[in-house]
């Protein structure tokens, strides 16, 4: 028997994680493995994202994959042989870590079919999501679990019966890497009304320095909008374009943004991914002290080298 959303007391119970990108920026590491499986310290990036969804109350997670699906689905499944070996050795610590990844949530998989863009990937989730609001989490953005964002977004969705996107201020020269929002202030300092959205604008076209970071709480009306989309930037069906239709008043309900000021780690390119590993590494209980000492030593060596 399935549980109706009302009876769980939560308005958003499903999360969709698009994970069909080719990961070309990480080749050859991603030749036979999805980029979402690249580790950050000791967990694949996708596990942090599933944990974030589960921590915000979403136990039903749909991962929209491309090729290389097996690696991802294996990660969220149990591994009887490995578990038996760890059990035999009495290595309960590692056994717990192995269990943790398969017990986080009910993880479902769907193939995108064709790589036609983020809007298309989200549209593919329609049958699974049905007529409910749902969250979308992009794997290239990791949000520090100490700085809750999704819970706040769901709160705003519930209060205002609105679609909600996560926004973050970025330097002007980086706005062309993101969806960008035109906004009006509200009485809540961390909430803005979104009046338009543009995908990856040039600095001259950008309506603000507020970038869409990869967290969305969407109402089911988005699916009809996606169905009517024309290809946008890069010839792809852009989620930003679908959201712009709602933001400019052509939907049932408005779009709001939650302005995030917490810790976010970009893992979408090599340098950011290395930085994310270091930032989370120095905060890691087991590795932090050793890594911090090493980073300080390295910084001193690099400074000396630079002044030579
Ligand atoms: C996607 C979205 C973009 C958003 C970004 C956040 O772009 O299309 O609007 O700002 O994620 O990470 P991508 O980085 O996949 O090119």
CB 113 within 8 Å of CB 124: yes
Q: CA 3, CA 144: separation in Å to the nearest integer?
A: 30
Query: If you take atom 7 of ligand 1, which residue's CA is the nearest one?
Result: 178
Q: What is the pLDDT of residue 224?
A: 97
pLDDT tens-digit profile of 106-134?
Answer: 999 999 988 899 999 999 999 999 999 99
Q: Which residues of the chain have pLDDT under 50?
A: 1-7
Residue 209 C-alpha to ligand 1 middle, in angstroms? 15
Q: What is the pLDDT of residue 58?
A: 94
CB 151 within 8 Å of CB 143: no
Span 5-268: which CATH code? 3.90.550.10
Cβ–ligand 1 distance for 240 under 6 Å, the answer yes
Burial class from Cβ neighbours inside 10 Å (0-12, 13-18, 19+) for residue 71 reads middle
Cβ–ligand 1 distance for 23 under 6 Å, the answer no
Q: What is the pLDDT of residue 10?
A: 74
Q: What are phi and psi of 150, to 5 degrees?
A: -60, -40
Q: What is the pLDDT of residue 3?
A: 42
Q: What is the pLDDT of residue 8?
A: 52
Q: Which atom of ligand 1 is nearest to the CA of 179?
A: 9
Structural element, H or E, at residue 50: helix 45-55
- Strand segments, DSSP code E, in 177-259 are 179-185, 191-199, 210-218, 255-259
Query: If you take atom 9 of ligand 1, which residue's CA is the nearest one?
Result: 179
Every domain of the chain and the residues it spans: 5-268, 269-308
Q: Which atom of ligand 1 is nearest to the CA of 199?
A: 9
Q: CA 235, CA 211: separation in Å to the nearest integer?
A: 21
Q: Which atom of ligand 1 is nearest to the CA of 240?
A: 9
Cβ–ligand 1 distance for 211 under 6 Å, the answer yes
Residue 102 C-alpha to ligand 1 middle, in angstroms? 28
CB 264 within 8 Å of CB 144: yes
């Amino acid at each position: 028997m399935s549980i109706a959303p009302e009876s769980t007391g939560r308005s958003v119970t499903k999360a969709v994680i698009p994970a069909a990108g080719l990961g070309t920026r990480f080749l050859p590491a991603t030749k036979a493995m999805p980029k979402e499986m690249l580790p950050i310290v000791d967990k694949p990036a996708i596990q942090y994202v599933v944990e974030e969804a589960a921590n915000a109350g979403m136990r039903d997670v749909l991962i929209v994959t491309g090729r290389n699906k097996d690696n991802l689905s294996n990660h969220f499944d149990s591994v009887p042989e490995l578990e038996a070996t760890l059990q035999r050795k009495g290595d309960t610590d590692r056994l717990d870590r192995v269990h943790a990844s398969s017990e986080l949530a009910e993880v479902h998989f769907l193939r995108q079919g064709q790589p036609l863009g983020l809007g298309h990937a989200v549209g593919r989730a329609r049958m699974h999501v049905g007529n409910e609001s749902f969250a979308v989490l992009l794997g290239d953005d990791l949000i520090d679990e100490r700085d809750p964002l999704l819970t706040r977004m769901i709160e705003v969705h519930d209060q205002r019966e609105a679609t909600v996107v996560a926004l973050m201020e970025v330097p002007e020269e980086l706005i062309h890497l993101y969806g960008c929002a035109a906004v009006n202030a509200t009485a809540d300092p961390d909430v803005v009304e979104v009046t338009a959205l543009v995908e990856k604008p040039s600095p001259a076209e950008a309506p603000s320095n507020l970038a869409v970071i990869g967290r969305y709480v969407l109402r089911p009306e988005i699916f009809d909008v996606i169905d009517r989309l024309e290809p946008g930037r890069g010839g792809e069906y852009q989620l930003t374009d679908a959201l712009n239709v709602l933001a400019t008043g052509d939907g049932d309900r408005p779009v709001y943004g939650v302005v995030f000021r917490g810790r976010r780690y970009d893992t979408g390119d090599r340098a950011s991914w290395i930085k994310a590993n270091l930032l989370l590494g120095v905060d890691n209980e087991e590795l932090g002290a050793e890594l911090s000492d090493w980073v300080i030593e390295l910084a001193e060596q690099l400074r000396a080298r630079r002044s030579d």
